[in-house]
Amino acid sequence: MADDGPSPEDTLEREELNQALQDCLQRLDEEFRAVVIMVDIEGMDYQEVSTALHRPLGTIKSRLARARLKMRDCLHRFWELLPPAFRLENTRSA
Amino acid sequence: MSSRLSLRDYEQFSAYLDGQLSPAETRKLEEQLKANPEWRLALDELAATRAVVRRAPHYRAPRNFTLSPEMAHQVARRPILPSLFSFRFSAALAAVALIAVLVLQVLPGGGPASRVAMAPPAMPTQGPALSLKTEGQTSRAPEAAPQESVQATAQSTPPPVVVWNGQSNMMDTGSPIALGKGGGGGGGTGSSGAEGGIVTFNQSSPGALMAGGDGGAANTFAPPGAIRRNCNLQRRAGSCPVRADLRSRAGTAPRPYGSPPAICPAGRQRPHSGHSLKPGGRADHCHLPWNARQRFSASNRPSPGPRRSLPCPPVDSGHSAGSGIAGRCIYLVCTPPHLNLHEPFFPRPLLSQLWHSAHPASPFWKRTFHLPVVRMDLL
């Protein structure tokens, strides 16, 4: 009987992608990392993050945009590890 | 519109992806995206990045590190007194141990240093050897150190009275019934003390008379031979001074027999050339000055006592006299002038001490050694 769970290849790719994400997150500065984690991973909105970090809402928006750009540049080095739907090579070459 | 994107444009893209723009800002941005494909490409990259980051696993913290108001209140109410007892147990134990060691060191008889000081000397024969250490400094030093060792023994065990049966037929027959009378001082092992013996004897004496000796001498008084050996051992260690007469012997060339020593200890005189030797004496030994000998002769008067035998005639009267300590007695050997005392029966260190210091039968010797004086008349 076939297993409905992920294949070993999928498990390996997921682990490698997680490792790449953690590596890129650790490369961020503390202020950018906190905003990315709170918004993209924890799912908090801008106002909640602004309240938690005691920073203005504009600062949160700016930090989040710069953090995402840094994450984009970092993930380009691991593009082969990204799922095909998330690979950006086609869009960059276009 | 310029195709170059600024950080402000990316902030608009990021807010647009998160739905944080107002409807007017959203409408304006969508019109720009339709007009500029590069903006659309940049927005897609940012959306893909956002999607990838959102795929990151959500790890759960092992515990909540946030302090609750109750926890902060407990920290604030911590009293000061327990902080005084934050003294760790090991530190307190070390302090107690240090105090105990200091107390043991200070208390008399408690520390190891005091136990070492109270320990008995390791070598009992070092007492007489130490007497030679001060011999070069004072003339009475040779009697001082044996006094200590002999006194210690005399206090523990009373000295026996040795009765000398000085019969003239002993010399003639050489009979073994001499029973060790006149034997020399015991060696360190209590064996025959002929070498280290200190008894004076005639050269015609049979061997049975020369032998003997008391093994107890090792416990009471080391003969001068043993003293010299011990002193040699200590001199190697640097703790025993070199006697003047021995120093002269230790030169490159041995001093010939009968030649006066080059250096004499303090209080002794170098013998003159042509000096009238005492019977059995040696010219190569330093002697006391004449006034000192007179002083000792004056103190040589016999004192009444049950154990006191008559002393030998003075050494200058023409009689040969010798003495020595064998066992627990001071033997006083008196011989007539016609019996020539042979030198080998007189150990040199003994002679140098006896002939030139004091007569052994004097009260000085008896008081010093607390030993009975036994007179032995050979003829």
Instruction: Give residue ranges of A with CB < 8 Å to any B CB.
Output: 17-18, 21-22, 25, 36, 39-42, 45-46, 61-62, 64-66, 68-69, 71-72, 75, 82, 86-88, 91-92, 94
Contact status, residue B371 vs residue B150, Cβ threshold 8 Å: yes
Q: What are the backbone dihedrals phi and psi of residue B334, each rounded to the nearest 5 degrees, phi first?
A: -120, 130
CA nearest to B313, candidates B375, B238, B224, B227:
B375
Contact status, residue B373 vs residue B360, Cβ threshold 8 Å: yes
What pLDDT, on a 0 to 100 scale, did the predictor assign at position B106? Answer: 83
Quick: pLDDT tens for B263-317.
666 666 665 554 444 444 444 556 555 555 444 444 554 444 444 444 444 444 4
Q: Which chain A residues contact residue B20 at CB under 8 A? A: 45-46, 61
Contact status, residue B323 vs residue B317, Cβ threshold 8 Å: no
Quick: pLDDT tens for B185-237.
333 333 333 333 333 333 333 333 333 333 333 333 444 444 444 444 444 44
Complex ipTM over 0.90: no
Distance CA B101, CA B133 (A): 38
Q: Which residues of chain B have pLDDT under 70?
A: 1-3, 74-87, 108-379
What pLDDT, on a 0 to 100 scale, did the predictor assign at position A29? Answer: 93
Determine whether the interchain pair A65/B11 forms a contact, defined as Cβ–Cβ distance below 8 Å. yes
A25-93 has which CATH code? 1.10.10.10
